[in-house]
């Protein structure tokens, strides 16, 4: 682990922007969540088609997944498509689904080679056939990998996640499989999409907005937040390292 982090630090330090001081012995996040924001604003600022912003965002996702692998961060969860995104123009929604299919198709070999296991959080069954099948194939094809876990939040809503968890809990109580007295934090967490995973230690939001946007509302109760004005398409390894350095400077008290 330390060796991998030392190699990664050396690699980043050769970039134009210097790497912030990082402590190889930690603390290090076990789970990083990212709201991939700013794709459209990045494209508009450069008079480029919106599609180019999303394509560059896919490249950033690939590099950030590799950064997590190199740093030994076990879990990366990214906000790809929210339930609210259905309200956008139909052409943009179609573009997002086309890119989703392209990512699943073009990245599969690299994800296998790099031992990344993909999981999908959200109501995948409600997606159109092509992206639904593409994501399901990506999940099946990487299921045996035991390296970095990449959670893709697609057609995701934290409020929907909580509603579904409460309904499932109520059904189990009604059927006698669960007693009301047994419901605690751990029990509720086991009904969420992230069941069995640790809560995110660090949530990164590129694009400069200071809101959660209906993302992992239950899970981020004690998560450290890092906001940067850098748009997601230009969020590089140095920016990721800056977020990690800030995380290492924080004192996590968990309400104590």
Set 15, 23, 37, 172: catalytic member: 37
d(CA 204, CA 76): 11
Residue 192 counted as domain residue = yes
Predicted local distance difference test score (pLDDT) of residue 199: 98
Residue 216 counted as domain residue = no
Tokens of residue 192, six digits: 């969420």
Residue 103 counted as domain residue = yes
Residue 212 counted as domain residue = no
Residues 20 and 142 in one domain: yes
- 2 — pLDDT class (breaks 50, 70, 90): very low
Residues 23 and 134 in one domain: yes
**Quick one: residue 40, left, alpha or beta (phi over 0 = left, psi -120 to 50 = alpha)?**
alpha
- Determine how β-strand 75-82 pairs with β-strand 149-156: parallel
Annotation marks residue 37 as catalytic = yes
Residue 215 counted as domain residue = no
d(CA 1, CA 3): 5
On whether the pTM is more than 0.85, the answer is yes
Residue 91 counted as domain residue = yes
Residues 89 and 44 in one domain: yes
Set 15, 23, 70, 85: catalytic member: 85
Residues 69 and 85 in one domain: yes
**Domain containing residue 123: CATH number:** 3.40.1180.10
Write out the H or E segment, with its range, that includes residue 205: strand 202-205
Residues 130 and 173 in one domain: no
Query: What's the structural domain count of the chain?
Result: 2
Residues 112 and 48 in one domain: yes
Q: If DSSP states are collapsed to H, E and C, what string results for 77-124?
A: EEEEEEHHHHHCCHHHHHHHHHHHHHHHHHCHHHHHHCCCEEEEECCH
Residue-wise pLDDT for 90-144, tens only, equals 999 999 999 999 999 999 999 999 999 999 999 999 999 999 999 999 999 999 9
Tell me which residue range forms the domain holding 167: 157-200
Kindly state the DSSP code that residue 14 receives in the 8-state scheme: T
Residues 241 and 195 in one domain: no
Residues 115 and 68 in one domain: yes
Residues 89 and 175 in one domain: no
Predicted local distance difference test score (pLDDT) of residue 7: 45
Residues 57 and 150 in one domain: yes
pLDDT at 14 over 50: no
d(CA 145, CA 82): 27
Measured from the Cβ of residue 175, the count of other Cβ atoms closer than 10 Å reads: 8
Kindly state the DSSP code that residue 30 receives in the 8-state scheme: S
Sheet holding 224-227, edge to edge: 117-121, 149-156, 75-82, 31-35, 202-205, 224-227
Residue 164 counted as domain residue = yes
Query: Terminal CA-to-CA distance of the chain, rounded, Å?
Result: 30
Residues 25 and 106 in one domain: yes
Residues 64 and 186 in one domain: no
- Determine how β-strand 31-35 pairs with β-strand 149-156: unpaired
Residue-wise pLDDT for 161-198, tens only, equals 999 999 999 999 999 999 999 999 999 999 999 999 99
Residue 213 counted as domain residue = no
- Determine how β-strand 149-156 pairs with β-strand 202-205: unpaired
């Amino acid at each position: 682990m330390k060796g991998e982090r030392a190699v990664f630090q050396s690699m980043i330090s050769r970039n134009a922007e210097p790497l912030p001081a990082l402590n190889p012995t930690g603390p290090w996040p076990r789970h990083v969540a990212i709201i991939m924001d700013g794709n459209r604003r990045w494209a508009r600022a450069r008079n480029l088609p919106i599609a180019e912003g999303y394509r560059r965002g896919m490249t950033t996702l690939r590099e950030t997944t590799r950064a997590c692998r190199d740093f030994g961060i076990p879990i990366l969860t990214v906000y790809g498509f929210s339930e609210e995104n259905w309200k956008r123009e139909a052409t943009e929604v179609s573009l997002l689904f086309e890119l989703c299919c392209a990512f699943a198709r073009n990245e599969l070999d690299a994800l296998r080679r790099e031992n990344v296991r993909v999981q999908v959080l959200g109501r995948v069954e409600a997606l159109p056939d092509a992206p639904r099948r593409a994501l399901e194939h990506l999940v099946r094809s990487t299921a045996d990998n035991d390296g970095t876990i990449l959670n893709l939040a697609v057609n995701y809503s934290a409020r929907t996640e909580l509603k579904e968890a409460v309904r499932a809990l109520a059904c189990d109580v009604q059927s006698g499989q669960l007693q009301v007295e047994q419901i605690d934090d751990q029990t509720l967490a086991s009904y969420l999409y992230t069941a069995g995973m640790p809560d995110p230690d660090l949530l990164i939001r590129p694009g400069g907005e200071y809101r959660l946007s209906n993302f992992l509302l239950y899970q981020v109760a004690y998560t450290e937040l890092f906001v940067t004005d850098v748009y997601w398409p230009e969020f590089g390894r140095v920016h990721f390292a800056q977020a990690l350095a800030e995380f290492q400077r924080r004192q996590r008290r968990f309400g104590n």
